[in-house]
Copies of this chain bind each other. A is one copy, B any other.
Amino acid sequence: MIHETVKVGKNVVLGEGAVIEENVAIGDNVTIGHHAIIKKDTQIGSGVMIGDLTVLGKGTSSNKKMARQPKKAGGPLVIEDGAVIGSNVVIYRDVCLGKGVFVGDMASIRENVTVGEESIIGRSAMVENNTKIGCRVTVQTGCYITADMEIEDEVFIGPCCSTSNDKYMGMGNYQYKGPTIKRGAKIGNNATLLPSVVIGEHAVIGAGAVITRDIPAGKTAYGNPGRVMK
């Protein structure tokens, strides 16, 4: 079903059973998978590929227990030219994916997030709200990128890394702050980053490390708790 207000470019291939809601704009040479769901207001650039069974432009939701109620996501989801989105993906409103971004199957990106040009969000990776991801960043399969986090350009985050932003775990009466990962840093697989730590430029974090303090630029840290290698 395509709503009558939808704008569709040239050479658009639409899968079986795809649902395109009102005010969606689709550029030229776009491919949309079977049973994909493009929710209202979503803007899709030219040459974008969207997999099967993917939801684009989801609104926020919540229940009473949530320490911090999500703001109603105002702006639309914007997907720039040449982005590639996998199958069974869920991306919220108020997200901007830059040119040539890749989002793997089963990944999910919450509201108020930007992902810079050519970055990769791996399969099954989860990105929370209010987070900024730079250009040419790799977020590998299964990573958890918390809310209120900043990832600078050319960072590499290995598979299954976990981050957090909530020092007092669910109390909800203070400022949340995720880690900051500076330009070119590399994080090994299944590493754990605590709230508000800063990983310096080109620092390297070992696989399985638990990082409880800031790591200076250019240094390598590993272990539990993570220590800087001399």
Contact = CB atoms under 8 A, between A and B. Distances in A.
Interface string A84-105: 1011101000000000111001
Interface in A159-205: 159-160, 162-164, 166, 169-170, 186-190, 192, 194, 204
Nearest to A83: B63
A210 B55 CA distance: 36
Contact of A119 (B65, B82, B90, B166): B65
Interface stretch (A4-12, A22-30, A72-80, A137-145): A137-145
Contact of A159 (B141, B146, B159, B204): B146
A121 B17 CA distance: 29
How many copies of this chain are found per oligomer? 3
Interface residues of A, number: 74
Interface string A31-62: 00111010000000000010111010010011
Chain A interface, >50% SS class:
loop
A3 B166 CA distance: 46
Contacts of A158: 164, 166, 169
B138 A164 contact: no
Nearest to A169: B186
Contacts of A51: 55, 58
Interface in A125-144: 126, 128, 136, 138, 141-142, 144
A89 B68 CA distance: 23
A218 interface: no
A118 interface: yes
A92 to B, nearest CB: 9
A165 to B, nearest CB: 9
A217 interface: no
Contacts of A136: 65
A229 interface: no
21 contacts: A16-B19, A33-B37, A37-B52, A52-B55, A53-B55, A58-B87, A58-B105, A65-B120, A65-B138, A88-B88, A126-B142, A128-B141, A142-B162, A158-B166, A160-B162, A164-B189, A169-B188, A189-B194, A190-B190, A206-B210, A223-B225
